[in-house]
Structure 1
Amino acid sequence: MTYCVGMRLDAGLIFMSDTRTNAGVDNISTVKKMHSWEIPGDRSIVIMTAGNLATTQSVISLLDERTKAPEDRKPSILEAPSMFQIAREVGRTLKEVIAANATTGMEADGAFGATMIVGGQIAGSPPRLFLIYPEGNFIEASEDTPFFQIGETKYGKPILVRALHADMSFEQALKLLMVSFDSTIKSNLSVGLPLDYIAYAADSLRIGYAGRVAQDDAYYQAVSNGWGEALTLAFDQLPEFTFD
């Protein structure tokens, strides 16, 4: 399992993903689930993946290969004219990889399923964020739906719904994401640190802020401990229930 979040802010786009993958409680490893491409001054693209590891790695490898080999550059996400066309190409590639690996029936399709978050900006257009489904179709983030989650979504969603607002700074958004991921990590062993993040500033057309939150990261630990204490304090301050 995994957990990834992409947000649309006034300041730009922000992404965070965990790195844990497992095939059982005794087979756990670290795999990067966030991938980025850029042509400074022209475009910046970020893709996060969740689902069957063989499927997601095949899709990323195909997309990456088409950016490098001249004979395979049609279609290439580095030459697509819009983020919408990039989302279409990612969806098409994902659908093809699933179909190539599956046998027949819903069970096989589900076993090789995957979802992806695609975001970025191409010069002359605003930043855009998409959620790609295994069938290859997709939806776009909007003012009403300013964030997407993939993977283990339920534990980290409540804080995002309550606290996210479009005029947040990247620093505030990263703090919010760490709370969301901490809630998920504490509730599900299949999600874990390190965490990767990218903050893309609108109209910069380059990957600006990128990093990894390690197991011993002091700020993450402070947020985790502080959030737990704040929840306990808030609970204690709620009015007491009484039996009439």
Structure 2
Amino acid sequence: MTYCVAMRLDAGLVFLSDSRTNAGVDHVGTFRKMNVFEAPGERLMVLMTAGNLSISQSVRQIIAEHTTSDGKSIWNVSSMYEAAQVVGEAIRMVHERDAGTLEQFGIDFNVSMVFGGQIKGERCRLFQMYSAGNFIESQDENTYFQIGESKYGKPIIDRVVTPDTPLDEAAKCALISMDSTLRSNISVGLPLDLLIYETDKLTVTRFVTIDEHNQYFQMIRNTWAKQLKTVFESISDPVWNAAPETTSNVLSSQGHKNQPLRILPPAQFGIDKTVSAPGPLQTLAQDESNSNNQQH
């Protein structure tokens, strides 16, 4: 599997991808999933891929070399929307050529991509591509796209990133998102490729490949883990069966009538189905009262 995330911000674009393609017990594969199409000063486009590796590599090759029937290529179109159409056509070409044969071997045509960048004369744009060659574009209400194992790293991005987030802050958030994914899923792995693109530069401005020895990423991993634990421990435990006005931590209100859905044993098992009524639950107010009595 994989995990890739891209963000479209007022200041530019952030792209981050892992490199794990196989996580078998005795076979771990590593392939880079970020591809940069660059004509410095004129256009800069980035493609990240997830899914079947052979399909994504075929699509990448066609994108780099193919010209459509009406003469369009990613190298000469005037907008990122047209470039995304070229990418979509490349996906459909590979599907038409290979999908039937793959199906005979029980292999689904499975590929997803994030494609973004800037062409001179227009703003930065970001697209998520699907297996059918169709796509959607990032808007201010949805500033990022993820592909692959996206669920682990999504919450931090939802809470932090907005269109006006600075690029370095967004990159930090992307790396924390990746660390959360690495922590929870063995099918995502190092090294990582991180590319930060500043609006109107029309060339790669910052890029790094991150391995297990990278100083900043190690700091993020250690600091994030410690800070999460500190925040967790600072949150009070729940209070049961207390009056809401007693404390702000009431989980179960005093005198509540909630009960679990109980399933009783069938009669043939001869089990006593009498449910003993629980004794009175001690409340926070009672705890404080007892404490005061003891002090007197």
Match of 1:216 in 2: 213
1:186 aligns to what? Answer: 183
* Residue 123 of structure 2 is aligned to residue 126 of structure 1: yes
Deviation at 1:105, TM superposition (A): 10
What RMSD in Å do the two structures reach over aligned CA positions? 2.2
**Quick check: 1:46–1:120 contact (8 Å CA) kept in 2?**
yes
Q: TM-score, normalised by structure 1?
A: 0.92
* Compared CA separation, residues 108 and 157, structure 1 to 2 (3 A): farther
* Cα shift readout 1:176-202 (whole Å, capped 9, x = no counterpart): 111100000010000011110111111
Contact kept? 2:102, 2:108, Cα under 8 Å: no
Q: Aligned ranges for residues 143-162 of structure 1 at < 5 Å?
A: 143-162=140-159
| 1:37 partnered with 2:34 | no
Percent of pairs with identical residues: 43
For residue 6 of structure 1, what is the aligned residue in structure 2?
Answer: 6
Q: CA deviation at 1:22?
A: 0.5
Cα separation, 2, equivalents of 1:98 and 1:47: 18
Counterpart pick for 2:232 among 225, 230, 235: 235
Structure 2 segments unaligned to the other structure (5+ residues)? 242-296
Amino acid at match of 2:63: L
Higher strand share: 1
Unaligned runs of 5+ in 1: none
Q: Structure 2 length as normaliser, TM-score?
A: 0.77
Aligned length: 241
Taking CA–CA contacts closer than 8 Å with sequence separation of 6 or more, which of the two structures ends up with the larger relative contact order?
Answer: 1
Evaluate the alpha carbon distance shift between residue 228 and residue 90 of structure 1 in structure 2; reply closer, same or farther with a 3 A threshold: same
Whose Rg is larger? 2
Q: Provide the rounded CA distance (Å) in 1 between the counterparts of 2:99 and 2:196.
A: 35
Confirm whether residue 225 of structure 1 aligns to residue 226 of structure 2.
no
Matched with 2:76 is 79
Between 1:56-65 and 1:121-130, the stretch displaced more is 56-65
How big is each residue's C-alpha offset from its partner over 1:190-237, in whole Å with a ceiling of 9 and x where there is no partner? 001111011111111111111111111111111011111111111111
Say whether residues 1:113 and 2:106 are aligned partners: no
1:24 Cα offset (Å): 2.6
Q: Distance in 1 between matches of 2:108 and 2:146?
A: 20
Answer yes or no: is the 8 Å Cα contact 1:59–1:94 preserved in 2: yes
Paired residue type of 1:84: Y
1:138 deviates by: 0.4
1:199 matched to which residue of 2?
196
Q: Distance in 2 between matches of 1:200 and 1:45?
A: 10
Whether the aligned pair in 1 keeps the contact of 2:110 and 2:131 (CA below 8 Å) is yes
How far is the alpha carbon of 1:243 from its aligned partner?
2.1
Q: Which amino acid aligns with 1:85?
A: E
User: What's the offset of the Cα at 1:129?
Assistant: 0.3
CA contact (8 A) 2:49 2:56 kept: yes
Paired with 1:127 and 1:167, the residues of 2 have a C-alpha distance of: 14
Aligned residue in 1 for 2:255: none
8 A contact 1:19–1:193 mirrored in 2: yes
Structure 1 residue 130 displacement after superposition: 0.3
* 1:50-65 equivalences in 2 (<5 Å): 50-65=50-65
Change (3 A) 1:193 1:121: same
User: Are the structure 2 counterparts of residues 208 and 73 from structure 1 closer, same or farther at C-alpha, using a change threshold of 3 Å?
Assistant: farther
| Matched residue SS, 1:102 | helix
Cα gap change, 1:25 to 1:80, in 2 (>3 Å):
farther
CA gap of 1:37–1:192, structure 2 versus 1, over 3 A, is same
Measured after TM superposition, the shift of residue 159 of structure 1 is 0.4
Aligned counterparts of 2:84 and 2:130: Cα–Cα separation in 1: 11
Instruction: Tell whether the 8 Å contact from 1:99 to 1:109 is kept in structure 2 after alignment.
Output: no
Q: Which secondary structure does the structure 1 equivalent of 2:156 belong to?
A: helix
